[in-house]
Amino acid sequence: MAMVFSNNTVNSALYLVLHMLSVSGFYLLLQAQFLAVIQILVYAGAIMVLFLFVIMVLNLGDDEKIQSKINFKEFFAIILGIVVLSQLLYIAGGYTGILPELSVEQAMAVGTVEAIGDELFTTFLLPFEVTAILLTAAVVGAMLLAQKTKNVED
Amino acid sequence: MIELEWYLGVSAILFTIGVLGVLTKRNAIVVFMCVELMLSAVNISLVAFSSFMGDVHGMILVFFVLCVAAAEACVGLAIVIAIFRNNITADISKINLLRW
C-alpha cells in the first residue's frame, strides 16, 4: 500500500486500486459489509476507471520530465510527514478506553445493510437528498469544464 | 478481534503517506490520487471507531464521504482536463492561472 511513490502514473493508479481493495478488506474485518461493497463499487469500479481514462487521454505514461527534482522540497515534506505521523500516533496512543462492551451479535448487527439503510432513510434523509443534488451538480459541472468549446477559461 | 489501536495506526500511516505524496508529487493526477488515499485513511479510522462503539452513524458519515469524494474526483479531473487542454501540462508547479 505504500507504493504510491512510483514514477509511472499508471503504476501508481494500479497501486491505488490495490489499496482500495485492501481498505475494503479492512471494512470486512470491521463487520461493515455494506461499506466494503460500496468501496469496491465506487472506488475500484468508478473512480479508478475515471483516473485511468484521464491518464489515457492526457497521455502521461512516461513522466520523467514531471517527476520532482527539488531535494529541498522533498526534505521538507519528509520532515512534515514525520511530524504529522508522530502527532497522529500520539493522539491514537493517548486514547483512553471508553468503548462500551459489545456482544458479538450487537457488533455483527452494526454494519449490515438493514441497519445502515434504516438509519439512512429515516434520520439522515435530508443529507441523502442533498448528496444526490451534489452528485448531479458535480456531473453537470464536470461536463461543462471538460467540454471542447473554449468558453471555460480565457 | 484486532484492537482499535492497530486500525488507528494504519490510518495514521496511510494519511502520512498521502500527505507526503501531495507535498512531493508534481503531477496533478498523482496529487489527486494521494488526496483519495488520505480520504480512505480517514474512512478507515471512522469505520473502526463506529464498529468498536456499536454505532451506525460513523458508517453513514463514511457513506457521505464516499459520495463527496466521488464528486470531488469527477470535478477535479475535469479541471485537470480543461487546464491540460488550454496549456499543455499536468505539472501543478507550472499552473499559475490564478496568480495575481
String of DSSP letters for B30-44: HHHHHHHHHHHHHHH
Domain coordinates of chain B in residue numbers? 4-86
Q: Which three cell numbers stand for residue B40?
A: 480512505
- Judging contacts by C-beta atoms under 8 Å, the chain A residues touching residue B48 are 30
Q: Say yes or no: ipTM exceeds 0.85.
A: no
The class of domain B4-86 in CATH terms is mainly alpha
Question: Which residues, 6 or more positions from B33, have their beta carbon under 8 angstroms from its beta carbon?
Answer: A4, A12, A13, A16, A51, B21
Pick from A42, A84, A145: CB nearest B79:
A145
Mean pLDDT on A45-50: 83
Decide if B16 and A142 are in contact by the 8 Å CB cutoff. Answer: no
Q: Is A24 on the interface with B (CB under 8 A)?
A: no
Question: Which of the two residues, A9 and B81, has the higher pLDDT score?
Answer: B81
Report helix, strand or coil for B27: strand
What is the rounded average pLDDT of the residues B43-48? 88
Tell me the pLDDT band of B9, cut-offs 50, 70 and 90. confident
pLDDT of residue A154: 45
- In chain A, the percentage of residues whose pLDDT exceeds 70 is 68
Nearest CA in chain A to B65: A131
